[in-house]
Chain A
Amino acid sequence: MRRAKAPLLILTVALVLADSAVVTLALPDILRHLDASVGQVAWVLIAYNLVLGLTAVPAAMAFTRAQPRIFSAAGIAVFAGSSAMCAVAGSIDVLIAARCVQAVGGALALVGCLELLVAQQGERRGVTSWVTAGVVGTALGPVAGGLLTQAISWQAIFVVQVPIAVLAVPAALAVRALPTVVPDRHRPATRANLTLALMSAALTAALFLLVLLLVQGWGRSPATAAVTVSVVPVAAIAARPLARLFLPPAEVEIAVGCFLVAGGLLGLALPPSASLAWTIAPQALVGLGLGLTVDRLTSAAMEMRLPRAHHAGWTIGARHVGVVVGLAILTPVFTADLRDAQVPAQQAITSLVLDAPLKPEDKIAVAESLGNELSGQRDQVPDLHSAFATLRLDPGERPAAARLERDLNAQVERAATRAFRDSFLIGAGLALAALLTLVPLRRRRPS
């Protein structure tokens, strides 16, 4: 247990922050399994980030008056229990409630683990481990969630967290850390936290919208989407060694990171086709930007500020409020754009069916079948395959029908991609706004 203490605490920090986006790829499965609406299922994601963002600072305030190991162990235990509750939730309301409790436990665990890691590894190494675990957890969350959903089920996402968190409870209790009574000497780092909030909103756009585009828009499986978005964490991990080659000042590194995320989101807004390959380079830019900014900003917001737990609370709050703001801005935009995309998509489908090289009676049959499918899949990107699967065609007509199905799917992918464009561009705007916060404000000299 002695050697496992720090790794278990680091893993817990990564888990809590991965939970911010871990369910993104599981949302369609949760929607179906719990018979929920799109609006309700979005709250599985929003509720966690909102509660974590709002409770982080009060948790940090409470921490200074508590025994660190008891406080941390209690937080981790609540996180473990509520993760189990998420896994067995039989309704969307129970799942959302469990996610709220999970976020409260997560806030306590994050603040507590920071102090325990510092007690265990020393100031510099402890803070670095805490910050790095957060970045890796954030970047890997959607990938891990997608793979677990595809391989087992959405419940598996929560089940796997339980044993890790349960093992982390005795690990937390075993750390000898004394309560640190430090007067509240420093104000929160407003600028670093604001930049962090805006970057979190922009990164939410990148991860959340990209997985939705891949799964809902382009019809890829959660596993394929998970493997595809793994470019982001890989690039994020590569960012730090690459940055060391240039020895940049922290502000330059953060500014470059913001610019790379904006550029990556611009690239994601403009794919030339629905091929996964076109998302790789933009994702690499986003990942490099993530690796250069989030840990630097978190460190900048906490460096030389005491009490450490308070400032950690502010950074957690800024990050997760940023995620919620990102979701709040982007969700209505892309849902409205998806709705608006239905008309051009239907018109493109109609055009191809009218001109299809099929016999007139087969065209009518295809049109009728497509009409039935499309009316049954309102407000969703349609799956046209079942419309063709139920058709009875002459064997001679099947190659033309297969070609038509391919062409229609291509039109649907085009319409879905176009529908996501504005949201990605807004995400790029958020990253540029984060860049603007780095511009030094000139103070007027007294005359």
Chain B
Amino acid sequence: MSAPRWIAMPIAALVLVCGVVGVQLANGGGTYEPLRPADPCVARQVTSRADGIDGLTERLVLLGIDGAACRLHVSREALTLELAQADEPTDAQIDALRSGLHTAVRRMKADGSLPPASALVDEALESSDLNDLLKTLIRALPDSVIDSALKTDDVLTRAIDDLDLRALLADVDDQQALEKRVEVAVTGAVKDSLEARVRDLA
């Protein structure tokens, strides 16, 4: 006795449903979700479209946020959003950021991506308010002299220590105020670094 014709109907329905759902799943249907934040404790490559001091600052900040997020056990995206949305960053966030920036300087020094001080001098002098004679004298110095007198990592470490990160975050949407604060911190750090060098020589 043959099976009734209608038996083919549920079978066809089963094949259709399995086919449609199978094709959806095979093409990534179950995983069509927003990008998941990466683990901030795993080192990542950061790049910048900017050159010179801007590029260096951007790479430092990106690595610094990673380090801070790792310390705080949150993703760098969550930390960035918290810092952007909160009225006032917490002490723990400020400490983590400073520590993250220090770690970033050490990492960049270790992987050789930190430029020598001589590569940044021209750009730094352009935006500084030193008198023209002094700027000309410094520009006349050979790179080797500048690089032996100023270590980029030392200057950056001192600048990070001097920076008022709370005020810096408050000024993040004011480009001029931001640059001014960084310039003051870097100039102070250069002076401190030179003084320390002279003290060591003495």
Contacts and interface: CB of A to CB of B under 8 A. Distances in A.
B127 interface: no
A270 B76 CA distance: 29
B34 interface: yes
B34 A414 contact: yes
A255 B33 contact: no
Interface in B50-64: 50, 54, 57-58, 62
A105 B97 CA distance: 66
B161 to A, nearest CB: 22
Interface string B162-182: 000000000011010000000
Interface residues of A, number: 49
Contacts of A350: 77, 80-81
Contacts of A249: 6
Contact of A414 (B14, B33, B77, B173): B33
A354 B76 contact: yes
B37 A347 contact: yes
B81 A266 contact: no
Interface in B34-90: 34-38, 47-50, 54, 57-58, 62, 65, 75-78, 80-81, 84
A252 B9 contact: yes
B112 interface: no
A282 to B, nearest CB: 6
Interface residues of B, number: 45
Nearest to A361: B175
Contacts of A400: 49
A391 interface: no
A266 B17 contact: yes
Nearest to A352: B35
B144 interface: no
A128 B21 CA distance: 34
Nearest to A253: B9
Contact of B84 (A260, A266, A371): A371
B49 A354 contact: no
B138 interface: no
A66 interface: no
B142 interface: no
A248 B6 contact: yes
A358 B32 contact: no
A414 B54 contact: no
A200 B1 CA distance: 39
B24 A259 contact: no
Interface in B84-100: 84
Given A248-B6, A272-B27, A347-B75, A359 B32 contact: no
Given A260-B17, A285-B17, A270 B29 contact: yes
Interface of B: 5-6, 8-10, 12-14, 16-17, 20-21, 23-25, 27-30, 32-38, 47-50, 54, 57-58, 62, 65, 75-78, 80-81, 84, 172-173, 175
Q: Which 6 A-B pairs have CB atoms at the shortest separation, nearest pair first?
A: A263-B17, A270-B29, A248-B6, A272-B27, A347-B77, A348-B34
